[in-house]
Amino acid sequence: MAQIDFGGVIEEVVTREEFPLERARQVLKDEVVAVLGYGVQGPAQALNMRDNGIRVIVGQRPGTKNWEKAIADGWMPGETLFSLEEAAERGTIIQYLLSDAGQREQWPKIVEHLNEGNLLYFSHGFSITFKDQTGVIPPSNVDVSLVAPKGSGTSVRRNFLAGSGINASFAIYQDYTGRAWERTVALGIAIGAGYLFPTTFENEVYSDLTGERGVLMGALAGVMEAQYYELRRRGHSPSEAFNETVEELTQSLIRLVGENGMDWMYANCSTTAQRGALDWKDRFRQAVEPLFRELYDSVASGNEARIVLEANSRPDYREQLEKELAVMRNSEMWKAGAAVRALRPENWKK
């Protein structure tokens, strides 16, 4: 593992330099990787491994939309595409990539098909960390690990095709064979990780749930709405409010942050923007710090897991979800966003 200085803190990470793809192929040469679930992470990880020469099969419920998607992606029923149970039986590495609620629902069936020495692989620490709520308790005679890409399945596939990869965390929960570490890291490299940093199942799910509810999605959407509607209240047009709130962030500034860091972005904007951003940054931080403490406590207590499992278990969950998303989609702010996106140069009529 390579030692990297992360802002004065030395961490050990795994890069492609010390664990190249050829080594990953060698580690996995006798394995059959069964990817269970072809929804969010499943397609990207399965396709990336297949493209990298790993033996992969897919498990999905027949007759579902995702079963048809798997066929469209080239997986063949009876050859590389099977029911969840049959794929689990055929695999030596079982990538359990169903939704968190789906993992709880299917676990009593899947656990019956785990064989001694298998590796049970997750991309989220949820089911193991909150096992008292999910009932996902692996047998003692299998390896258990995770590789969690730091991005959506769409990004995992898109970055792979672009040759850039995506960063991922990894953790070993149970090492029955003595080979859990090398099997797990090999899988991380095979799905296209740019580098892998160690974590635990607990830390992965705590940071992930906090991030999703916070900066990555929940807080981001909330802050955008607060600024947009304040600008509208003050008489600004929808186009101006959206451009100053979302479009400039997503199409310009956040790209500069990703490429060079926040300090570089500050240094390369107007002096007016610099001064204002520096003066207001800490006020925003102080305003939201109590909310982030409350959020983390809710995650660590298992309360957020309970809410997720209860909501996803309701028979009308999909219907209610669509109603909630429709409210967002049909809001003035995101209707304005659709109009602004349509006016981007790449969408102009030729």
Give 142's pLDDT tier (boundaries 50, 70, 90).
Answer: very high
DSSP secondary structure letter of residue 39: S
Q: What digits encode the pLDDT tens for the residues 14-26?
A: 988 899 999 999 9
At 345 the pLDDT is 83
Co-location of 229 and 290 in the same domain: yes
Residues 90 and 237 in one domain: no
Lateral strand order in the sheet of 193-198 = 2-6, 9-15, 193-198, 166-174, 143-149, 119-122, 93-96, 33-36, 56-59, 81-82
Average pLDDT over residues 230-245: 96
Q: How far is residue 201 from each of residues 83, 121, 205, measured CA to CA in Å? A: 27, 11, 6
pLDDT at 339: 94
pLDDT for res 281 = 95
Please indicate, yes or no, whether residues 83 and 14 belong to a single structural domain of this protein: yes
**33 bridge partner residues:** 56, 93
Assess whether 170 and 150 both reside in one domain: yes
Q: Which domain holds residue 311?
A: 211-347
Instruction: Share the mean pLDDT of the chain.
Output: 94
Q: CA angle 47-167-84, nearest 5°?
A: 35
Is the per-residue pLDDT at 341 higher than 60? yes
The DSSP element (H or E) to which 52 belongs, if any, is none
**Same domain, yes or no: 111 and 154:** yes
pLDDT of residue 349: 64
Q: Are residues 180 and 290 in the same domain?
A: no
Tell me the per-residue pLDDT of 36-67, one tens digit each, with 9 for 90 and over. Answer: 999 989 999 999 999 999 999 999 999 999 99
Question: DSSP code of 57?
Answer: E
42 in any annotated domain: yes
272 pLDDT exceeds 90?
A: yes
Query: Catalytic residue numbers?
Result: 124
Do 293 and 190 share a structural domain? Answer: no
Give residue 31's pLDDT.
98
Looking at the structure of the chain, the number of domains it has is 2
**Residues 317-334: pLDDT tens digits?**
989 999 999 999 999 999
Task: Report the SS3 class of residue 28.
Answer: coil
Domain boundary among 199, 221, 240: 199
